[in-house]
Structure 1
Amino acid sequence: MKAVFFSIAIILCPLLLVGCSTETMVLLDEEISKVNISKSKGFGEMNEDIILTFNDTKSLETFEKAITTAVKQSGKVNVSDPEYDIMVAYKSEKGALPTHALHLWLGMENEKSIFTYMMDETAYYTSPEMTNKLRKLILSDENS
């Protein structure tokens, strides 16, 4: 009986460790004040011609969850230029905090989207559910 338990433990432990090592995107541990969006001019550049600004609690929570739950994929992003530039600004009583600059490839409905940090080619994929929420926010406001 001990041998069976030990054999199962040897098989499951590495699987659990691999499952726990999922890397996600990171934002500052500060409250987000707004998210600005612009049409991207290309990888590594940040277009400051803002087309959308989100500062309501529900939208900010959606963006924060989409970004912080996006899972790192091995290798570098191998797709066309990003569609959107995302600028995450923070509230702070301590003074100015840096803005997180991200690129976004917005997936089609029920597909994954891709985030990268502006100067990094590492891809982070959202869930299809988060893509649907992002599409609802970005595309409905963009077309208003």
Structure 2
Amino acid sequence: MLVILGIAFLAGCQSLHGETMVLLEEKIAAVNISKSNGFDDMNVDILQSFTDDESIRTFKNAITTAQKQMGKVDVSEPEYDVMVEYENELPTHGIHLWLGKESEKSMFMYIGDDEVYLTSPKTTGKLRALIISGE
């Protein structure tokens, strides 16, 4: 009986953490950033392209650890479009990004979707170091 209660407790704790964003289980070739043209559109006029392993790891971690926010969230137009390009000519993942200020959370949204995902303030700092320093 205690084992069943323990498993139920652990499963409940995991569901409290919410859903996270997902990317393909494929090698990422590049992460490209552009100024966003607004919802449901991906601006292909690239401002920055990140191809080094460390930068790609930073973006991948930021995206895959962002926590889904429950309920409807009213947001302004996105600031950036993030294009995750994979090797082997797989389709590009298009994601809108609202980059938070220092010590704030940032927000991601899949292009064409309406669900938002928030990063930690620490992750925002890492994203700002990559994006702001390259502008």
Q: Could you say whether these structures have the same fold, taking a TM-score greater than 0.5 normalized by the shorter chain as the test?
A: yes
User: Which residue is equivalent to 1:115?
Assistant: 108
2:12 equivalent to 1:18: yes
- Specify the SS of the correspondent of 1:78: coil
2:126 equivalent to 1:133: yes
2:66 equivalent to 1:43: no
Letter in 2 for 1:50: I
User: Which residue is equivalent to 1:99?
Assistant: 92
Moved more, 16-25 or 103-112: 16-25
TM-score (normalizing by structure 2): 0.90
Ranges of 4+ aligned residues in structure 1 off by more than 2 Å: 16-19
CA–CA separation in structure 1 for the residues paired with 2:105 and 2:134: 20
User: Which residue is equivalent to 1:73?
Assistant: 69
CA RMSD of aligned residues (A): 1.8
User: Size of the alignment, in residue pairs?
Assistant: 132
List runs of 5+ in structure 1 lacking aligned partners.
none
Post-superposition CA distance 1:63-84 (Å, at most 9, x none): 0000000011112331100000
Name which of 49, 53, 56 aligns with 2:49.
53
Offset at residue 91 of structure 1 (A): 1.2
